[in-house]
Amino acid sequence: MKRPEISFEFFPPRNIEATFRLWDTVQALAPLDPRFVSVTYGAGGTTRELTRDVVATLHKHSGLNVAAHLTCVDATKEETLAIVEQFRASGVTDIVALRGDPPKGATGFTPHPDGFGSSVELIEALRETGDFNIRVGAYPDVHPDAVSGQADIEFLKRKFDAGATEALTQFFFEAETFFRFRDACEKAGIDKPIVPGILPIENWKGARRFAENCGTKIPAWVIEAFDRAERDGRQDLLATAICTELCSELIEGGVDKLHFYTLNRPELTRDVCFALGVAPDVKLEHVA
């Protein structure tokens, strides 16, 4: 099995304890030589400044290629582009451009009166600067706000046409879900890279709730397996096995890049990477 290229997603910490956890996560996963790591925004743009600060710090001190998430939510164009300028000033050249989730309690996305109305508008503005490599989101299962899977694919094509260079997918549970989506994208004329998003399940209840909120279909066998594993205390073993098998099937199907949603907990992600043959390069020196 060919060793895949990998990348990781982190989220910005909200307190001192979470700050230490993030740095521990970075230290645990950085030796695996990711091609980049990304830092998210909170729902409703609630961690805009935190994201900016974490991205700048990681870029300066970690030696990693850091991509900053950027959304359209609850900000004017001027405010959003000011953040972009701060990213540029700190040396960051990779952005994950997203529409973003609405603020907590909102029933749906409502553009700011003076803001970007969609991720396509944001991508076009970023492209005009000429300074950024732009990644975007993609949805193998239908996005909750999309009228159909085909509409999702057509909108993804608009994002690529606007200037995006690569897409990172929402997580999914079965490789066939990604393969169907990849084939449909190719049929629609999309020829840019689409990288599967992988969620090692550290917490089944949280992952299930997350999947239901974002429209990710949960196969019955996954629910049954985790219900049994919870009773037997084997959740981590099951999660590692399921995630490793999913990644293996993707690689066998021609996938050469994987993007892991770490949730700032590195253990399962690291274990899966090891199982896939992605491990630190150890050099022996001064051996007698």
Annotated active-site positions, please? 9
Phi, psi of 116, deg, nearest 5: -75, 135
Residue tagged 């929402």 (tokens)? 170
Give the number of other Cβ atoms within 10 Å of residue 20's Cβ.
Answer: 11
Helix (H) or strand (E) holding 171, with range, is strand 166-171
Q: Give the integer Cα–Cα distance in Å for 133 and 233.
A: 43
Q: Give the integer Cα–Cα distance in Å for 48 and 71.
A: 9
Helices of type H across the chain: 16-29, 48-61, 77-89, 119-129, 149-162, 175-187, 204-214, 220-232, 235-252, 266-275
Helix (H) or strand (E) holding 164, with range, is none
